[in-house]
Structure 1
Amino acid sequence: MTASPPVVQLVGAGFAYEDGPAVLADVDFAVPEGRAIALLGRNGSGKTTLLRLLSGGLRCGSGALLLDGTEVAYDRKGLTRLRTTVQLVVQDPDDQLFAASVAQDVSFGPMNLGLPEEEVRLRVARALAALDITALADRPTHLLSYGQRKRAAIAGAVAMRPRVLIMDEPTAGLDPHGQERLLDALAGLREDGTTVVMATHDVDLALRWADEAALLSPEGLRTGPVDRLLGDHDLLDAARLRRPWGTSVGRLLRAHGLLPDGAPEPRTPEELDAWAATLVPGAPGVSGRS
């Protein structure tokens, strides 16, 4: 059986801003259906540029953008097809929210598709429910907290029913509780079949959340399973990223014979607590909580 092409794919892509050096050169990056992909790199590495190339906000200076294996045409028809398949949520929600209320903002995209009013209402209701902000439907956007604005911006993208949701640093500026609520919402979207790509420089978040990673380093883009890529210390050093907490803990446990080869490493303090409890049932968690 022939494998399906990636939903969206950059092939040999390069880009430079006007009068500037190349930001990206000869990049191959494929987004297959049903995966959670973390795009990693230090500030200035080109993460945001790559996301905008994937979503059609920028046009490749060289190479090509493919949608379902076919090169994207940058005309109205081609971009409409791309943007009903791929949606980008920018880092600052204030760059994306503009309507008077949350429901009005979320409805903007579906209305621009010319959908029937009943279909628009249904999409808005489902998007608000998916992000757990139904109670905020009539709230003025300027009265939302930062975390609420983040989720409202994502709901606007979700209402377009994209197959691929791309987010630029979605957890930046959120407190731990806000991050957990957002990750819960993203888990629900994935269960409904949405492919999610998240740009971040938080290696612990990437290791915990993603299936695969794409890492921008001075030597180019490297892709692979997230645990393998983030276990490559030389690669992380070259990309100027710190080593994930979970990877370091796993190596320490294996060095002392406490974690068998092939056993998954604890990726969060909570997973470490749960693992420790299997060694001494009823013992307090190692992170200090009973």
Structure 2
Amino acid sequence: MKPLVRLSGASYAYEDGPPVLSGVEFAIAEGRALALLGRNGSGKTTLMRLLSGGLRPSAGSLLLDGEPVAYDRKGLTRLRSSVQLVVQDPDDQLFAASVEQDVSFGPMNLGLPPEEVRARVEAALTALDITALRDRPTHLLSYGQRKRAAIAGAVAMRPRVLILDEPTAGLDPDGQERLLEVLAGLTGTTVVMATHDVDLAVRWADDAAVLTPSGIRTGPADVLLSDPELLASARLRPAWAPAVAAVLRAHGLLAPGAGAPRTPQALAGWRPEVPGAAQT
């Protein structure tokens, strides 16, 4: 399958600094929820900005649908119509007087007809469950509401790839679950989420990319994030779900390849799947 977006041999260094990323090969596959993990300073933010066109590789290239991205107005407009980045702090992204005005800004800048702008705004507000907040001043929103408003602004652009930088940071458990439900309901958009939460990545993602000092490792999330040496090299804590699965298999309560509970709540209602195992 041809990736939607790909960095090929990409490198980047900030002015007067050492390389942050060097010779990166990284691709985003359509329809696969992707978690991006790594310690602070590992290059996650730089990688996301390269993918969204906020930074230009000092070497290598960014490809969209297999074609190199041109860093002129036309090329960047094409890229940003397909790839949207939502930064970690919503206050760095929200600027309009009301939620509706903020969400409509991107589609209006695309030069779309007013009726198309209205349709996109309505769909984005509905998708993020903030229709009732459309007239609310952005500075009067709660932190979780501001997060969803910022994401709605990106969703209104109808991107093929939505990149979220630590979207659950600062949210309480209920707010995290509501946001994950919203992301699960997005159609036609491939979501990339940067996070420090390995448990969240195991539970949510199809694929994972882990930034380590030796480079980027990618693969199926449940397999990649079960590797204790990889997580240690990235200074990430081991995930809960793979550890539980290993214990269950060691005690003969989970057949090889069988699905294991991914959350404590799932474990509470779980029953052994191995024939002849004790039932409780």
TM-score by length of 2: 0.97
Equivalent residue for 2:155? 158
1:77 to 60, 74, 80: 74
Contact 2:253 2:272 in 1 (8 A): no
Name the SS for the 2:144 alignment partner.
helix
Is 1:196 the counterpart of 2:191 in the alignment? yes
Equivalent residue for 1:286? none
> Whole-Å Cα distance in 1 between the matches of residues 266 and 21 of structure 2?
37
Equivalent residue for 2:99? 102
Name the SS for the 2:222 alignment partner.
helix
Q: Within 5 Å, give how 1:224-235 maps onto structure 2.
A: 224-235=219-230
Q: Once the 2 structures are TM-superposed, how far is the Cα of residue 237 of structure 1 from its aligned partner?
A: 0.8
> Whole-Å Cα distance in 1 between the matches of residues 19 and 171 of structure 2?
32
Equivalent residue for 1:178? 175
Post-superposition Cα deviations, 1:166-213, rounded to whole Å, max 9, x if no partner, equal: 010000000001001100000001xx1210000011000000000000
Contact 2:12 2:57 in 1 (8 A): yes
Equivalent residue for 1:208? 203
* Residue identity in the other structure for 1:209: W
Q: Within 5 Å, give how 1:236-275 maps onto structure 2.
A: 236-275=231-270
* Residue identity in the other structure for 1:197: V
> Whole-Å Cα distance in 2 between the matches of residues 128 and 93 of structure 1?
16
Equivalent residue for 2:90? 93
Q: Within 5 Å, give how 1:91-170 maps onto structure 2.
A: 91-170=88-167
Name the SS for the 2:20 alignment partner.
strand
Equivalent residue for 1:6? 3
* Residue identity in the other structure for 1:120: V
RMSD, aligned α-carbons? 1.3
Post-superposition Cα deviations, 1:218-256, rounded to whole Å, max 9, x if no partner, equal: 110000000110011111111111100001111111111
> Whole-Å Cα distance in 1 between the matches of residues 62 and 86 of structure 2?
19
Name the SS for the 1:66 alignment partner.
strand
* Structure 1 unmatched ranges of 5 or more: 284-290
Name the SS for the 1:265 alignment partner.
coil
Post-superposition Cα deviations, 1:16-67, rounded to whole Å, max 9, x if no partner, equal: 0000011001111100111100000011111010000000000001110000
* Residue identity in the other structure for 2:241: G
Name the SS for the 1:187 alignment partner.
helix
Equivalent residue for 2:29? 32
* Residue identity in the other structure for 2:90: P
> Whole-Å Cα distance in 2 between the matches of residues 34 and 87 of structure 1?
15
Equivalent residue for 2:64? 67
* Structure 2 unmatched ranges of 5 or more: none
Q: Once the 2 structures are TM-superposed, how far is the Cα of residue 154 of structure 1 from its aligned partner?
A: 0.1
Q: Once the 2 structures are TM-superposed, how far is the Cα of residue 277 of structure 1 from its aligned partner?
A: 8.4
> Whole-Å Cα distance in 1 between the matches of residues 197 and 229 of structure 2?
17
* Residue identity in the other structure for 1:207: V
Q: Once the 2 structures are TM-superposed, how far is the Cα of residue 265 of structure 1 from its aligned partner?
A: 2.0
Q: Once the 2 structures are TM-superposed, how far is the Cα of residue 274 of structure 1 from its aligned partner?
A: 2.5
Q: Once the 2 structures are TM-superposed, how far is the Cα of residue 276 of structure 1 from its aligned partner?
A: 3.3
Q: Once the 2 structures are TM-superposed, how far is the Cα of residue 273 of structure 1 from its aligned partner?
A: 1.9
* Residue identity in the other structure for 1:276: R
> Whole-Å Cα distance in 1 between the matches of residues 248 and 4 of structure 2?
39
Post-superposition Cα deviations, 1:69-116, rounded to whole Å, max 9, x if no partner, equal: 000000000000000000000000000000000000000000001111
Q: Once the 2 structures are TM-superposed, how far is the Cα of residue 272 of structure 1 from its aligned partner?
A: 1.0
Contact 2:254 2:272 in 1 (8 A): no
Post-superposition Cα deviations, 1:127-162, rounded to whole Å, max 9, x if no partner, equal: 000000000000000000000000000000000000
